[in-house]
Amino acid sequence: MLNSFILYLSTEKRYSEHTIEAYERDLSQFIDYAEIKAIKDFGDLSSTFIRGWIVRLFEEKKKAKSINRKLAALRTFYKWLRKEQIVSNNPMTKIQGPKNEKRLPAFAKESELDSEKLNDLFVDSLDGKRDKLMFELFYQTGIRLSELIDLRVQNVTNDSIKVLGKRNKERIIPISNNLSKQLWSYIHLKNRHCGESTYVFSLKFGKKLYPMFVYRKINQYLSMATSLDKKSPHVLRHTFATHMLNRGTGLETLKDLLGHANLSATQVYTHNSFAQLTSIYSQTHPRGGKK
């Protein structure tokens, strides 16, 4: 039933594989709830019925963020149904999702990621060099997990990497001379021991990395280096952004480095940066301390 829509998301909308899988899963759950038998049946549903689904999701203890993602899938699906003239009614025009909780991104302190301290965490082996390089790439470039996994050797130069982000948008991220040397050293070492591979990072026999493998590795090293409750590759992306802002990077520049579609997604990091400024002010200004 959803095959044509999934093809549309992949070829015309150029959504990522991860997003397509999430949309397909969410729509399948809605189809089960609504007991849809044929695609034309979507035209018979009302906004009241969909609000009932939202209530059910809350009863199932689903979070607002998860509910809004499901509504986004349904909203995109109805737009496609209208475009294909399968239905004339779009109940989603009257649906407003719940407000998401505003949580500040977790990030590590600069002192916790001191290069000398980090060096002691990684063993001197091919796997150890791979893990260290993955950690450094996340922290020094702010790339996403999927972007690291898909990073190809041909897109690495002596001063930059080119990554494929959301909506298949390419962006070029500058890298330091030291990070460039680490990259090429690892690539040459890996080629000697495991054979050449299209991807910078790979498992044995050139097999592509998978998300949970990378997640577990980064979680392991962040647990050793920081006291954070949340530990993931995305925390290093948040850390990259926060440390850049704290050292004077402009929002527009940071937006481009992170590959955000609009500035509102980048502005969340200003809260962390302001907290840093407040801390510095209270510690350094003669009358800045608490009474």
Model confidence over 236-281: pLDDT tens digits?
Answer: 999 999 999 888 888 999 999 999 988 888 888 876 666 666 666 6
Whole-number percent of the chain with pLDDT over 70: 91
Q: Which of 37, 70, 94 is the last residue of a domain?
A: 94
pLDDT (0 to 100) of residue 51 = 94
CA 13, CA 19: separation in Å to the nearest integer? Answer: 11
pLDDT of residue 276: 63
Residue 168 lies in a domain: yes
Sequence-distant (≥ 6) Cβ neighbours of residue 44 within 8 angstroms: none
**100 within some domain:** no
**Would you tell me how many other CB atoms lie within 10 Å of the CB of residue 36?**
17
Between residues 166 and 234, the one the model is more confident about? 234
**Does residue 17 lie in a domain region?**
yes
Tell whether 29 and 160 lie within a shared domain.
no
In a domain, 122, yes or no: yes
Do residues 214 and 236 make contact, with C-beta atoms less than 8 angstroms apart? no
34/143 same-domain check:
no
Catalytic residue (choose from 13, 152, 166, 171): 166
**Which residue segment(s) compose the domain that 245 sits in?**
110-283
Helix (H, G, I), strand (E, B) or coil at 227: coil
Q: How confident is the model at residue 135 (pLDDT cuts 50, 70, 90)?
A: very high
Res. 93: pLDDT tops 50: yes
| Per annotation, catalytic residue among 70, 132, 237, 238 | 237
Residue 125 corresponds to which tokens in the numbers above?
């082996």
Report the pLDDT value the prediction gives residue 285, as an integer from 0 to 100. 62
Write down the catalytic residue from 130, 144, 231, 255.
144
Q: Are residues 165 and 272 in the same domain?
A: yes
Asked whether residue 138 carries a pLDDT value surpassing 60, the answer given is yes
Residues linked to residue 202 through DSSP beta bridges, in sequence order: 208
What pLDDT sits at residue 286? Answer: 67
Three-class SS state of 166: helix
Segment 68-93 shows an average pLDDT of: 93
Q: Are residues 253 and 175 in the same domain?
A: yes
Q: What percent of the chain has pLDDT over 90?
A: 63
Residues 36, 171 within the same domain: no
269 annotated active-site: yes
CATH number at residue 54: 1.10.150.130
How far is residue 10 CA from its own chain's centroid?
Answer: 19
pLDDT of residue 112: 92
Residue 101 domain-assigned?
A: no
| In-domain check, residue 185 | yes
Domain boundary among 25, 60, 94: 94
Overall residue count recorded for the chain in this entry: 291
Residue 260: active-site member = yes
State the Rg of the chain over Cα.
23
Q: How many domains does the chain have?
A: 2
Answer whether 137's CB lies under 8 Å from 180's CB.
Answer: no
The reply to whether 290 falls in a domain is no
Read off the pLDDT of each residue in 143-157 and give the average, rounded to a whole number: 95
Residue 104 domain flag: no
Separation of alpha carbons 234 and 255, rounded Å: 16
Give the contacts of 229 (CB within 8 A, at least 6 positions apart): 106
Average pLDDT over residues 100-123: 85
272 or 169: which leads in pLDDT: 169
Whether the per-residue pLDDT at 291 is higher than 50: the answer is no
Residue 69 falls in the annotated catalytic set = no
84 and 124 belong to one structural domain? no
The upper half-sphere exposure of residue 271, i.e. CA atoms within 13 Å in the direction of its Cβ, equals: 12
B/e letters for 167-188, b = 16+ CB within 10 Å, e = fewer, are: eeeebebebeeebbebbeebbe
Grade residue 204 by pLDDT with cuts at 50, 70 and 90: confident
Q: What integer pLDDT is reported at residue 248 of this predicted model?
A: 85
Indicate the average pLDDT of the chain: 89
